[in-house]
């Protein structure tokens, strides 16, 4: 199973288990807090994998553009969720922060192995 699929299963399962067992009244807020970091993380992984295979020289510029787009998206997403949708900010913020940090660490570790593998293949060829 690809990393994106594993991340989706793990994130949805942990969010569901936590809200069911610990805080049943926060399901919607916790799920919305998890959704954006998961979707953006999966998109980032797919972007890096595709760019690494097709044109690794373009990776820095694509990641810079993606970083700016993510900053704008996250600011808009959090503002809309809390201000317009009226989501409870405490469980939303806790969930968002937890999944954001966990997925960033997962991405960094995955990219480290991906780039090591790519440089090893480049050195052999």
Return d(Cα 16, Cα 103) in angstroms, integer: 17
pLDDT at 118: 79
Return d(Cα 76, Cα 89) in angstroms, integer: 15
Helix, strand, or coil (residue 12): helix
pLDDT at 119: 75
Is the separation of the CB atoms in 59 and 44 below 8 Å?
no
> Any idea of the CA torsion for 4, 14, 75, 110, to the nearest 10 degrees?
-40
pLDDT at 120: 73
Is the separation of the CB atoms in 32 and 79 below 8 Å?
no
In this prediction, the residues of the chain whose per-residue pLDDT falls under 50 are none
pLDDT at 125: 55
The CB-based long-range contact list for 4-13 (8 Å cut-off, 24+ gap) reads 4/42, 4/45, 4/46, 7/38, 7/41, 7/42, 7/45, 7/103, 7/106, 8/38, 8/42, 11/38, 11/99, 11/103, 12/38
């Amino acid at each position: 199973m690809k990393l994106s699929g594993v991340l989706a299963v793990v994130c949805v399962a942990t969010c569901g288990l936590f809200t069911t067992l610990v805080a049943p009244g926060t399901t919607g807020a916790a799920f919305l807090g998890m959704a954006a970091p998961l979707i953006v993380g999966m998109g980032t992984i797919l972007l890096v994998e595709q760019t690494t295979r097709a044109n690794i020289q373009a990776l820095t510029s694509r990641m810079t553009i993606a970083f700016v787009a993510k900053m704008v998206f996250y600011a808009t997403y959090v503002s809309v969720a809390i201000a317009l949708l009226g989501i409870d900010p405490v469980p939303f913020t806790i969930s968002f922060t937890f999944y954001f940090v966990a997925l960033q660490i997962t991405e960094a570790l995955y990219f480290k192995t991906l780039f090591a593998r790519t440089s090893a293949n480049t050195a052999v060829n």
